Amino acid sequence: MKTIQFFLTTVLLLAVSTVFGQSENKTYKTEQPYFLIQSDNQEPVRLPLKGTSVKAKISGVIADVTVLQTYHNTGKKPIEARYVFPLSDKAAVYSMEMCLNTRHIVAQIRERDQARAAYEQARNEGKHASLLEQERPNVFTMSVANIMPNEIIEVEVKYTEYILPNEGVYSFIFPTTVGPRYNGNHAKFVSMPYLRSGNPGSASFDLSVDLFSSVPVSQLICSSHKTQLQKINDSHFSVSLCSDEINRANKDFTLDYVLKGSTISSGIQLYNHGDEQFFMAMIQPPKRVMLDEIPAREYVFVVDVSGSMNGFPLDVSKDLLKNLIAHLRASDYFNVVLFAGGSASMSPHSLPATRENVDKAIALIDGQSGGGGTELISALNTCMALPRPSVKLSRSVVLVTDGYITVEKEAISLIKKNLNQCNVFTFGIGNSVNHYLINSLAHVGGGEPFIVTNTEKANSIADKFRKYIQTPVLSNISVNFKGFEAYDLTYDKIPDVMGERPIIISGKYKGSPIGKMVVSGQTGKGSFEKSIFVAPHLVSKDFNALRYLWAREKIKIADDYGDGYKNQEQQAEKTQLGLKYNLLTAYTSFVAIDQKEIVNPGCKSDLTEQANVLPAGVSELAIGADFNMVGCFVAAAGSHYHKIVTIIVLGLLISVLIIMMYHALKQPIPPSENKSSK
């Protein structure tokens, strides 16, 4: 019997090893999850970032934003500070200055490798220097060299972006922290350190907005932070953070406003830079037409259940998905693909939206708790491989995630390759989502992006999605110019307008600004046409941001929404755009060097990385903390092969336990124990 027990125990241990071993070889953690840097005397080094101050000026549909970062060395040794931080994915970053006491050193735009080499040379020579690099369109790295003990250095960054309304609501969003990215391809910035959950950090955060509109503002709401509001007049407002929000840099700052009458005025802006002339036209689309009979559709819900979604984000996702799935029509088909370390679908093929199938899907989603990595590419491949229930049914992919990954380019490429199969709607869940991923996948997928920050918004956003899916506001859009010599437009083809938001057309023009622009398309009721007239009096020096925004749109289409595959000619073109228009890109960086003084003759300094704050509501599971047994089972069952292995091993485990219990109960009580019990 002892031999049998030994054999069964060995089988049990081997079985457990087989199941959990599948997940042991996968790296779910970020490379440097917690902040801990010590000096020679084992004293913790203080974080170098003293504070961030943001000032935004919004005029019309253009925002100009100044970000001032203050670095302070409170230690006894020279340091080099490095800080990974977010900005808007729409930002055209056009300026950087390094401030040393009363001196301001204007940064130069250079090719990325040249800027890095110049910075490192200055650092090694003991000079003050700062370097701003783009890691993603919404993630940047600031490096500041040779900050001496007790010294304060300020770095000022400026960018501009469009603030466009959707359904009549304008939204200015400033991201405050970079959510931890799942290490799918060893991107550099995933190694940044984080403070423990609930730790707000010591760096202060201050933000103010000066809002001016040509039309009176009827509603102004900040849903993310407590603010102080000053009304200068009906069209001019000042908004600032309350004093107790100084350590609330753990979620996006969001300011929503509505203009009186919820109207969007069509018009054109013109700017003459001397060597080139730029224009930007904004066209109000027609009102949405609701169709009485909407064709049946197939929906594939791709749902992130990884570690970063644990807790609050997954709870919000559940409320959203329950609403979306419960309101499917009986004629619709649907499926659910869950993904973490792997991916698996609810069914090998989409199911009709019967009450039984809907209840089954809701129960499946309700049972998720969140754990493991974020293998989005695997999930999208699983989704695209699902057989179609009918060629007559249009397929819509609904992706629900926080977007904490580093494989944005690969995901964009995959969607582009499957454009003829589906359109893609993205739902970013949480307070600090990856806007670059959420916006890009919706753009290339011909859908719309949505941001869901709490359960209260889930229902209203689900209602908005159902409106969007029924019929585009405007499709088959074309633009013609009469008497106005426009060229180098930012779009070759204007995508269908799903929501009631303006159509933006920007480009350059030659000669005199005379003539008109005619925009036409199809609505649910028939044809649409809108004309905008161009005149010399519309040219203004106040519209100098159009130059930066035109170049940023060009880069966005070519690079942000690109699939990551580039040749030397394409890379050279994007590099030249950054250099010519003084813009930060993936190929150009800003570098500022103080050539007047060597402050650190010894040239020795400690590298100190500024730790980011974990986004509000995000669990430490997002950075790989304590990956539990349940998570291992989920990760192990990520593919169909692993699912089969898991089922077999679990069956074997149960069988072994039953056999062991059977033999244990069957054994007679030893004589010695019989005597003692009497």
pLDDT digits (tens, 9 = 90+) for 162-199: 998 888 899 999 999 998 887 665 555 667 788 888 88
Whole-number Å distance between alpha carbons of 486 and 516: 10
380's tokens: 């999208």
CA distance 497 to 444: 13
pLDDT per residue as tens digits for the range 538-578: 999 999 999 999 999 999 988 877 766 567 788 888 999 99
pLDDT at position 295, please? 74
- Token pair listed for 635: 């990760």
Beta bridge partners of 298: 333, 395
**Spatial CA neighbour of 90 closest among 163, 184, 20, 185:** 163
Lowest mean pLDDT among 68-82, 130-144, 515-529: 515-529
Percent of the chain with pLDDT over 70: 82
Which pLDDT band, with edges at 50, 70 and 90, does 200 fall under? confident
If pLDDT is split at 50, 70 and 90, which confidence band does 214 have? Answer: confident
Is the CB of residue 43 less than 8 Å from the CB of residue 606?
no
What would the two tokens of residue 378 be? Answer: 């695997």
**Please, what is the angle between helix 455-470 and helix 312-326, to 10°?**
40
For residues 290 and 463, what is the distance between their CA atoms, to the nearest angstrom? 13
> Comparing C-alpha atoms, which of 131, 156, 133 is closest to residue 146?
131
Q: Which residue has the tokens 């890009």?
A: 440
Task: For residue 9, name the pLDDT band (cuts at 50, 70, 90).
Answer: very low
Contact 202, 150 (CB under 8 A): no
- 3-class state of residue 629 by DSSP: helix
**Gap between the Cα atoms of 267 and 284, Å rounded:** 9
DSSP-based helix, strand, coil % in the chain, nearest 5: 30, 35, 35
Listed in sequence order, the residues at least 6 apart from 568 whose beta carbon sits closer than 8 Å to its beta carbon are none
Average pLDDT, integer, range 438-446: 92
Lookup result for tokens 């329950």 = 322
Q: In this structure, is the dihedral angle defined by the CA atoms of residues 411, 413, 416 and 421, taken in order, positive or negative?
A: negative
Residues in the chain: 678
Q: What angle do CA 212, 217, 221 make, to 5 degrees?
A: 100
pLDDT digits (tens, 9 = 90+) for 103-117: 999 999 999 999 999
User: Which one, of 586, 435, 618, lies nearest residue 33 by Cα?
Assistant: 618
- Give alpha helix (H) positions in 505-628: 545-555, 568-580
Conformation bin of residue 96: beta by default, left when phi > 0, alpha when psi is -120 to 50:
beta
| Closest by CA position to 279, among listed 267, 289, 287 | 267
- pLDDT for 576-624, tens place per residue? 999 999 999 999 999 999 999 999 998 889 999 999 999 988 888 887 6
What CA–CA distance (Å, rounded) separates 501 from 351? Answer: 34
User: Which stretches within 303-432 are classed as H helix?
Assistant: 312-326, 355-366, 376-385, 408-417
Contact 402, 313 (CB under 8 A): yes
Report pLDDT for 342.
87
Strands 503-510 and 277-283: antiparallel
64 close to 160: Cβ distance less than 8 angstroms: yes
The alpha carbon torsion through 100, 195, 116, 440 (nearest 10 deg) reads -120
pLDDT at 45: 54
H-assigned helices in 91-208: 112-124
- CA distances to 196, 219, 512, 572 from 559, rounded to whole Å, are 34, 36, 32, 12
Alpha helices in 492-567, H assignment, sequence order: 545-555
473 neighbors 166 (Cβ within 8 angstroms): no
Place of tokens 């004309």: 531
**Average pLDDT of every residue of the chain:** 84
3-state secondary structure at position 636? helix
Q: Give the orientation angle of helix 2-24 with respect to helix 629-636, to 10 degrees.
A: 70
Average pLDDT score over residue span 254-272: 85
Q: How many CB atoms lie within 10 A of CB 80?
A: 19
Tell me the backbone φ, ψ of residue 647, rounded to 5 degrees. Answer: -65, -45
How far CA 400 is from CA of 185, 218, 335, 618, in Å, comes to 21, 32, 14, 15
Query: What token pair was written down for 332?
Result: 């619709």
- Indicate the residue type of 133: E
Distance, CA of 581 to CA of 24 (rounded, Å): 48
SS3 state of residue 464? helix
* Maximum pairwise Cα distance, the chain: 113
pTM of the predicted structure, to 2 decimals: 0.84
pLDDT-above-90 percentage for the chain: 58
Residue bearing tokens 């595959």: 565
A 10 A CB-CB count for 218 gives 13
Residue 302 is predicted with a pLDDT of: 96
pLDDT, average across residues 136-143? 95
The answer to whether 244 and 226 have CB atoms below 8 angstroms apart is: yes
Q: Are 168 and 185 in contact (CB under 8 A)?
A: no
What span, in angstroms and rounded, lies between the C-alpha atoms of 572 and 540?
32
Q: Inform me whether the pLDDT recorded for 406 exceeds 70.
A: yes
How far is Cα 294 from Cα 309, in angstroms, rounded to an integer? 34
Q: Which of 230-234, 412-416, 629-633 has the lowest mean pLDDT?
A: 629-633
Token pair, residue 234, equals 């009906």
First to last CA, the chain: 27
pLDDT of residue 669: 44
Residue 552 near residue 583 (C-beta atoms within 8 A): yes
Summarize pLDDT for 12-29 with one digit per residue, the tens.
433 433 333 333 334 444
H or E element in which residue 620 lies:
none
